Amino acid sequence: MARKKAAELPIKHWSYSGLMAYLRNPLAWYKRYVEQVYDTPSGPAGVVGRAAHTALQHYYGGLPAEAAVALGLEYLRDVADFEINFGKAKTKTAQKAKRESMEREYLQAVGFYLARPPKYKVLEVEFKATVKVSGLPLPIKAVSDLVVVSKVDPRGVDVIDHKFVTAFSPYKGDRSLFVLQAIFNYYTVKKTLNKPVRRFVVHECKISRNQDGSSQMRRHVIDFRTFREEFIIFNRLVRDATLSLKQTKVFLPNPSDIFEGENSFDIYRINLPREESDAHFRPDE
């Protein structure tokens, strides 16, 4: 019976990014996670952030800093123009200038991080896992930037997450989002490596230079020893999202979504039945 229920769902697992996309904009989520169409351009900051992630992946994987930075820059330059949302930069000249600006921002951001990089005894880099969790109708999947020996519990591990941002998250403002992401990583690391997971540590690195000379780095620490209610809420949210997904027959656009609102409307328009798209409607007089 369980197999039959799972087969009725359009996805095989939940991830943090997938769950957030579904809650924010179900139709845009459907396009990406069910139809697996990945043609929505990324903003320049997102591309710079992924390039910086690439550099840190190689750095913590054992390469010298200079070589790691070069590989991140290579990734950035390999991103095609059509994959970037240039915003107001419409002309080729403007887009070329924007790309040069992105390279400067990348080199600056990764330079900020590597000026005093956090030191860890690294066990895993870019650790990917999909696991089944008791009580959840679908498996969950997560990618951990780093899995390291915990500095506060040598018997356990910490999960390290890197975020390159245009502005720091408020210390309390994004805690709920960090907690949700943390629990995805907790389950996948604990069940795959069979080690106690003590903390989820987020290192935020601000891309632009702080004018007041303050640190470009900010750290958020989530200690799983203090958790109980958060796991209950997480499990309930995943179960409710799965039930909602199972019951949803039509995915509606969310025009107010600042990331993909316009795109979701385009998807909705494309998927109109032919008889409706061909019809001529006249507003009531």
pLDDT one-digit tens code per residue, 74-132: 999 999 999 999 989 999 999 999 999 999 999 999 999 999 999 999 999 999 999 99
Q: With 0-12 CB in 10 A as exposed, 13-18 as middle and 19+ as buried, what is 232?
A: exposed
pLDDT tens sequence across 29-68: 998 999 888 878 899 999 999 999 999 999 999 999 999 9
Within this chain, do residues 167 and 254 fall inside the same structural domain, yes or no? Answer: no
Within this chain, do residues 184 and 159 fall inside the same structural domain, yes or no? Answer: yes
Domain that holds residue 251: 10-38+241-264
Q: Whole-angstrom distance between the N-terminal and C-terminal Cα of the chain?
A: 54
Within this chain, do residues 179 and 250 fall inside the same structural domain, yes or no? Answer: no
Neighbours of 239 (CB within 10 A): 14
- Position 275 in a domain: no
If you average pLDDT over residues 170-197, what whole number do you get? Answer: 88
If you average pLDDT over residues 227-245, what whole number do you get? Answer: 91
The per-residue DSSP string of 8-71 comes to TSS-S-EEHHHHHHHHH-HHHHIIIIIS----PPBPHHHHHHHHHHHHHHHHHTT--HHHHHHH
Report CA torsion sign: 132, 135, 141, 142.
negative
Residue 268 has pLDDT above 90, yes or no: no
Lowest mean pLDDT among 87-91, 146-150, 164-168, 175-179: 175-179
Q: With 0-12 CB in 10 A as exposed, 13-18 as middle and 19+ as buried, what is 236?
A: exposed
Within this chain, do residues 127 and 141 fall inside the same structural domain, yes or no? Answer: yes
The CATH number of whichever domain residue 225 belongs to comes to 3.90.320.10
- Domains in the chain: how many in total? 3
Report CA torsion sign: 68, 39, 180, 19.
negative
Within this chain, do residues 25 and 98 fall inside the same structural domain, yes or no? Answer: no
pLDDT confidence of residue 171:
64
pLDDT tens sequence across 271-280: 545 444 444 4
Structure-token match 């040069």, residue found: 100
- From 115, 134, 162, the end of a domain falls on 115
Ramachandran region, residue 266 (left: φ > 0; alpha: ψ -120 to 50; beta: rest): alpha
What CA–CA distance (Å, rounded) separates 125 from 142?
13
Within this chain, do residues 82 and 161 fall inside the same structural domain, yes or no? Answer: no
- From 115, 147, 178, the end of a domain falls on 115
pLDDT confidence of residue 248:
86
pLDDT confidence of residue 2:
38
- Position 206 in a domain: yes
Spell out the alpha helix ranges (H) of the chain.
2-7, 16-24, 26-29, 44-60, 65-78, 92-115, 175-193, 229-247, 261-270, 274-277
pLDDT band at 237 (very low <50, low <70, confident <90, very high): very high
Q: Say if CB 182 and CB 200 are below 8 A apart.
A: yes
- Position 2 in a domain: no
Q: Say if CB 171 and CB 209 are below 8 A apart.
A: no
pLDDT band at 214 (very low <50, low <70, confident <90, very high): very high
- Position 24 in a domain: yes
Within this chain, do residues 106 and 130 fall inside the same structural domain, yes or no? Answer: no
- Position 230 in a domain: yes
Q: Return the structure tokens found at 169.
A: 């998250």
- Position 279 in a domain: no
pLDDT confidence of residue 8:
81
Within this chain, do residues 135 and 216 fall inside the same structural domain, yes or no? Answer: yes
Within this chain, do residues 151 and 129 fall inside the same structural domain, yes or no? Answer: yes
Residue 285 has pLDDT above 50, yes or no: no
Within this chain, do residues 34 and 73 fall inside the same structural domain, yes or no? Answer: no
pLDDT tens sequence across 177-187: 899 999 999 99
Residue 7 has pLDDT above 70, yes or no: no
- Position 253 in a domain: yes
Within this chain, do residues 90 and 16 fall inside the same structural domain, yes or no? Answer: no
pLDDT confidence of residue 199:
96
What CA–CA distance (Å, rounded) separates 95 from 81?
8
pLDDT confidence of residue 53:
97
- From 91, 115, 139, the end of a domain falls on 115
Q: Say if CB 160 and CB 120 are below 8 A apart.
A: yes
- Position 219 in a domain: yes
Average pLDDT, whole number, for the chain? 87
What are residue 129's DSSP bridge partners?
A: 142
Does the pTM exceed 0.75?
Answer: yes
Within this chain, do residues 99 and 145 fall inside the same structural domain, yes or no? Answer: no
